[in-house]
């Protein structure tokens, strides 16, 4: 077993897990803006729980993509080109979501805000679903030929596994976001978020559990079952902690569930990084898909410096904005009259002068 | 339908679009950081106003750069999978480093800056902005390292038909990349300078039109204050005139910098991609003259029809080699050289589909390179000249009352954007038919190259690329309108749009300014900024 490609496989698994852990809750909060928040104040509250951090969270996706390109170019090329259509939707979802976060509050009209609310909710949903589908297909395989190109047309990737993966990530994001909101907010929203976790946790995590179990059955590695047992225990712990009003513990247990579940997924397929459903000989593996040892060494040095730094300053950001917020903390939104363009009414009205 | 052509259009459109946002992000970010630093050091309120107002516009634009940037990383794998497989060993590294070392920094610290007003100690809050801006500059460096490797492959060895990195230092200090980096940063500052200049001009003109500012008998401006329009006080004037003059000075310095780096870049290109420069000149035959204007069908691609009507003798040699007599090879000389080195036909590879075995045209679309090159220099020069004129016209503290000049200043904002876009189109189109250009120069490795026709994803259909092209261009078009509408709204709002606390009445705007910036507010103030 080559050491460096294996190390990079693990690192990419870590990046994806980090992405799902962090953006998991802001994608979920994005979806909840349409189903959980009851009025304008609550919608703004939800947005502001993730306001300072969502952009930083999203970079985990870019880094996972970039790291795959650098360390496993064949994996990156085959996966991204085979999933062309779903990735276009993911991109559109992420574009709308990002722009909506920033632009929603910039004009004070109900129509304007409603449009951007839908952009946030649908954008978050489509991105979460698409990324889930992509990750699931990475583990169950795509119809790839000898060169790693998809055969069978633009929708050849569409299988039940894609749907399962999509639901898995959407479900996880919703539950994770509820736990996050229970941790980050105060007042009535906090109580409702806690109730949401209590009711929906078992159902929301079910598709992810199904995916993990399917992989364990398909690949039959004993330690997968061990990890699954830990994941189930973590989910139960999250649920129990939530019912005892221990939001911090509940959120961390959700995180543990994700980490262990994702470890089960990635370890089940290893050393294959992208199976071909047509011929096992065409599978992309850590060995045949990776960059040269020189590039991997260079990237390892960069990662050794960069990853701890990122973790440190992102942790600092969360520390700075650690306080719970409630609707009472939100300043009133303010509109403004244009200082120019008031036509001829304004000139000379109440102008005072003085030489300088 | 050949996915190749559609994929090329898509790449061009999404990249040029993304690069409308990026220079403004880099340039304006730098200026806002400088303004906030000045505010912190002097405590003068007009600098706080400038920071807040330009910072608001910066954020409206920034988010579009973020949103469209993700497409950039994904599209290599999606539409250009053969390219990704070929270059992954060396091209992926700077991309991954951009994400890990620059983009994380940029987005995390910008989040801290946006939400950290009053919440962080002033110095730390300012440091967050500087770190975010540094992140965006470093990010440009990594991207240019990646792009420059396509222009001038270095630091690799061919192994089993693929370039494999053997010298990272060579890749990251590629002379093409260093010069392009300098050129890009100066280009970005020119964009920001023009942006400040145009908008401030409009605001000052409006103050004159509304009768707030008048010009006294001695020709000096009499600064006034309006009771009825929020934020239109005397400090408002100071803010705009300072912004205008800072913008003009930055634009002029930036143009000088981009002329120097552009000249260096040109000299490198004559050596590394002679065909690109010959096409930029519509130079068919060998010679030394620089064409000011050539007529005839510069788009004919075989060069037979081009006639130079105005030329400067010796200038071309000077641009290429710093002397006036060295002959520069024209298209007609270069084509047989390229054919001898890199073949006359594409390989008979079934992966290339219908493109397999077709003849290779080594001359890029000359109309694009010829005019792209001239628009880059022309728009840049025009903007710099206009900045000089603006400085002269505003020497007494306000702008002339002319409405025409005001319109010119506003339209002029687009000139540096045009120069940037034209420059990129020239650079990328001039490289065709190669996606990774081979380098006959000593500093390159001649046999590392890839035809664009061989780079597109073999498994992706024309229909898929059309779908994404239509979807992305539609969304981009809509979002561009939204961005411009929002920018316009906030520009017309004046400083009050970014500092609502000033809206309570003229000259009452002390808020968090006026006095020297203090420490963080009470501890229960959990949100300094809210969406």
Residue at A233 is within a domain: yes
Tell me the mean pLDDT in the region A314-326.
92
Establish if B479 touches chain A: CB-CB under 8 angstroms.
yes
Q: Which pLDDT belongs to residue B70?
A: 93
Cα gap A229→A260, rounded to integer Å: 9
CB contact under 8 A, A91 and B71: yes
Q: Which tokens hold the place of A37?
A: 């928040």
Tell me the mean pLDDT in the region A169-180.
96
The dihedral built from the CA positions of residue B257, B263, B266 and B268, taken in this order, carries a sign that is negative
CB contact under 8 A, A71 and B92: yes
From the list A80, A148, A356, the residue facing B223 with the nearest CB is A356
Residue at A355 is within a domain: no
Q: Are strands B434-436 and B162-165 parallel, antiparallel or unpaired?
A: unpaired
- Residue ranges making up the domain that contains A126: 19-349
Residue at A9 is within a domain: no
Q: What would you measure as the largest C-alpha separation in chain B, in angstroms?
A: 81
Alpha helix locations (H) across B281-413? 315-321, 331-342, 366-393, 403-412
Residue at A259 is within a domain: yes
CB contact under 8 A, A98 and B168: no
The alpha-carbon gap from A261 to the nearest alpha carbon of chain B, in Å, equals 25
Q: Which pLDDT belongs to residue B332?
A: 85
pLDDT higher than threshold 60 for residue A111: yes
Establish if A100 touches chain B: CB-CB under 8 angstroms.
no
Q: Say how many C-beta atoms besides its own lie within 10 A of residue A206's C-beta.
A: 14
Q: Give me the average pLDDT of each 10-residue run along chain B (531 residues).
A: 90 94 96 96 94 95 93 95 94 95 95 91 96 97 96 90 92 95 96 96 92 85 84 91 96 95 90 88 78 65 67 80 80 87 86 84 87 91 93 90 92 94 94 89 72 92 94 96 94 88 55 44 58 75
CB contact under 8 A, A104 and B531: yes
Q: For residue range A176-231, what is the model confidence (pLDDT) as tens digits?
A: 999 999 999 999 999 999 999 999 999 999 999 999 999 988 887 888 899 999 99
List CB contacts (< 8 A) between B74 and chain A: 65, 80, 87, 91
Q: Which of A284-293, A314-323, B284-293, B522-531 has the weakest average pLDDT?
A: B522-531
Residue A325 bridge partners (DSSP): A185
CB contact under 8 A, A67 and B216: no
Say how many domains are in chain A: 1
Establish if A279 touches chain B: CB-CB under 8 angstroms.
no
Cα gap A109→A37, rounded to integer Å: 18
Q: Say how many C-beta atoms besides its own lie within 10 A of residue B358's C-beta.
A: 11
| Nearest C-alpha in B relative to A149 | B459
Looking at residue B503, the DSSP 8-state letter turns out to be G
CB contact under 8 A, A107 and B216: no
Establish if A85 touches chain B: CB-CB under 8 angstroms.
yes
* Tokens 């628009």, located at residue: B375
Q: Which pLDDT belongs to residue B396?
A: 87
From the list A307, A321, A352, the residue facing B224 with the nearest CB is A352
Residue at A14 is within a domain: no
Tell me the mean pLDDT in the region A270-281.
91
pLDDT higher than threshold 50 for residue A343: no
pLDDT class of A347 with cuts at 50, 70, 90: very low
Burial of B514 (0-12, 13-18, 19+ CB in 10 A): middle
Q: For residue range B92-139, what is the model confidence (pLDDT) as tens digits?
A: 999 999 999 999 999 999 999 999 988 899 999 999 999 999 999 999
Q: Which pLDDT belongs to residue A228?
A: 92
Residue at A3 is within a domain: no
Residue at A6 is within a domain: no
How high is the ipTM of this complex? 0.91
Cα gap B273→B432, rounded to integer Å: 10
Q: For residue range A120-135, what is the model confidence (pLDDT) as tens digits?
A: 999 999 999 999 999 9
Tell me the mean pLDDT in the region A87-100.
96
Q: Which pLDDT belongs to residue B92?
A: 94
Residue at A354 is within a domain: no
Establish if A151 touches chain B: CB-CB under 8 angstroms.
yes
CB contact under 8 A, B93 and A299: yes
B4 CB contacts (<8 Å, ≥6 apart)? B355, B452, B453, B456
Residue A354 bridge partners (DSSP): B223
């Amino acid at each position: 077993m080559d050491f460096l490609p294996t190390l990079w496989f693990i690192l990419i698994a870590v990046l994806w897990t980090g992405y799902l852990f962090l953006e998991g809750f802001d994608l979920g909060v994005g979806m909840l803006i349409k189903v959980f928040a009851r009025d304008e104040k609550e919608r703004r509250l939800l947005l502001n729980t993730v306001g300072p951090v969502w952009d930083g969270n999203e970079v985990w996706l870019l880094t996972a993509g970039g790291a795959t390109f650098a360390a496993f170019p064949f994996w990156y090329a085959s996966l991204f080109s085979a999933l062309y259509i779903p990735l276009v939707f993911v991109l559109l979802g992420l574009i709308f979501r990002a722009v909506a976060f920033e632009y929603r509050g910039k004009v004070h009209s109900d129509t304007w805000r409603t449009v951007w609310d839908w952009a946030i909710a649908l954008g978050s949903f489509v991105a979460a679903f698409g990324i889930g589908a992509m990750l699931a297909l990475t583990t169950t395989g795509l119809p790839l030929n000898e060169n790693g190109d998809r055969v069978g047309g633009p929708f050849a990737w569409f299988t039940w596994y894609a749907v399962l993966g999509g639901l898995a990530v959407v479900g996880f994001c919703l539950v994770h976001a509820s736990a996050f909101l229970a941790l980050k907010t105060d007042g009535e929203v906090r109580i409702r978020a806690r109730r949401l976790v209590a009711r929906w946790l078992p159902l929301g995590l079910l598709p992810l559990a199904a995916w993990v179990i399917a992989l364990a059955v398909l690949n039959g590695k004993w330690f997968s079952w061990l990890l699954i047992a830990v994941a189930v225990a973590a989910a139960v712990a999250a649920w129990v902690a939530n019912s005892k009003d221990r939001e911090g513990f509940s959120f961390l247990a959700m995180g543990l569930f994700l980490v262990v579940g994702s470890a089960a997924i990635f370890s089940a397929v290893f050393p294959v990084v992208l199976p071909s459903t047509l011929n096992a000989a065409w599978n992309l593996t850590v060995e045949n898909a990776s960059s040269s040892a020189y590039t991997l060494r260079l990237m390892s040095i960069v990662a050794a410096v960069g990853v701890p730094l990122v973790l440190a300053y992102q942790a600092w950001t969360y520390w700075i904005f650690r306080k719970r917020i409630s609707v009472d903390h939100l300043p009133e939104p303010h509109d403004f009259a244009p200082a120019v363009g008031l036509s001829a009414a304004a000139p000379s009205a109440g102008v005072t002068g003085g030489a300088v | 339908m050949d996915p190749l052509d559609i994929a090329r259009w898509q790449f061009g459109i999404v990249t040029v679009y993304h690069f409308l946002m990026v220079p403004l992000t880099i340039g304006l970010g730098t200026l806002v950081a400088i303004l906030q630093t000045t505010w912190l050091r002097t405590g003068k309120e007009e600098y706080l106003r400038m920071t807040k107002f330009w910072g608001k516009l910066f954020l409206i634009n920034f988010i579009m750069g973020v949103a469209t940037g993700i497409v950039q990383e994904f599209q290599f794998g999606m539409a250009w999978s053969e390219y990704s497989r070929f270059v992954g060993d060396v091209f992926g590294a700077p991309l991954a480093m951009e994400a890990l070392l620059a983009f994380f920094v940029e987005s995390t610290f910008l989040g801290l800056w946006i939400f950290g007003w009053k919440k962080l100690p002033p110095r730390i809050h300012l440091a967050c902005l500087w770190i975010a801006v540094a992140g965006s500059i470093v990010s440009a460096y990594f991207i240019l390292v990646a792009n420059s490797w396509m222009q001038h492959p270095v630091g690799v060895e061919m192994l089993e038909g693929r370039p494999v990195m053997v010298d990272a230092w060579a890749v990251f200090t590629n002379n093409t990349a260093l010069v392009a980096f300098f050129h890009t940063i100066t280009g970005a500052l020119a964009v920001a300078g023009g942006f400040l200049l145009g908008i401030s001009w409009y605001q000052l003109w409006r103050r004159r039109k509304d009768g707030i500012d008048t010009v006294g008998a001695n020709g000096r401006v009499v600064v006034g204050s309006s009771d009825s329009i929020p934020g239109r006080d005397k400090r408002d004037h100071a803010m705009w005139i300072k912004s205008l003059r800072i913008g003009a000075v930055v634009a002029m310095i930036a143009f000088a910098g981009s002329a120097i780096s552009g000249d260096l870049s040109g000299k490198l290109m004559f050596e590394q991609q002679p065909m690109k420069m010959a096409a930029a000149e519509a130079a068919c035959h060998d010679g030394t003259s620089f064409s000011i204007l050539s007529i005839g069908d510069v788009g004919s691609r075989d060069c037979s029809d081009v006639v130079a009507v105005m030329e400067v003798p010796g200038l071309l040699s000077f641009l290429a080699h710093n002397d006036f007599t060295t002959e520069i090879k024209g298209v007609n000389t270069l084509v047989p050289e390229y054919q001898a080195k890199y073949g006359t036909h594409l390989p008979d590879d079934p992966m290339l589909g219908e493109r397999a075995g077709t003849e290779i045209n080594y001359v890029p679309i000359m109309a694009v390179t010829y005019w792209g090159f001239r628009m880059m220099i022309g728009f840049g020069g025009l903007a710099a000249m206009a900045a000089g004129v603006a400085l002269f016209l505003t020497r007494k503290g306000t702008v002339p009352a002319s409405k025409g000049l005001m319109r010119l200043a506003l339209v002029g904002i687009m000139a540096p954007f045009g120069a940037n876009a034209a420059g990129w189109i020239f650079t990328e189109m001039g490289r065709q038919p190669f996606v990774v250009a081979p380098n006959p120069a000593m500093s390159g490795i001649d046999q590392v190259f890839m035809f664009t026709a061989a780079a597109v994803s073999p498994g992706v259909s024309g229909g898929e690329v059309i779908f994404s092209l239509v979807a992305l261009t539609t969304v981009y078009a809509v979002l561009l309108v939204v961005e411009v509408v929002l920018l316009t709204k906030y520009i017309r709002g004046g400083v009050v749009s970014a500092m609502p606390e000033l809206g309570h009445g003229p000259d009452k705007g002390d808020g968090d300014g006026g006095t020297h910036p203090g420490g963080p507010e009470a501890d229960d103030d959990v949100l300094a900024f809210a969406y």
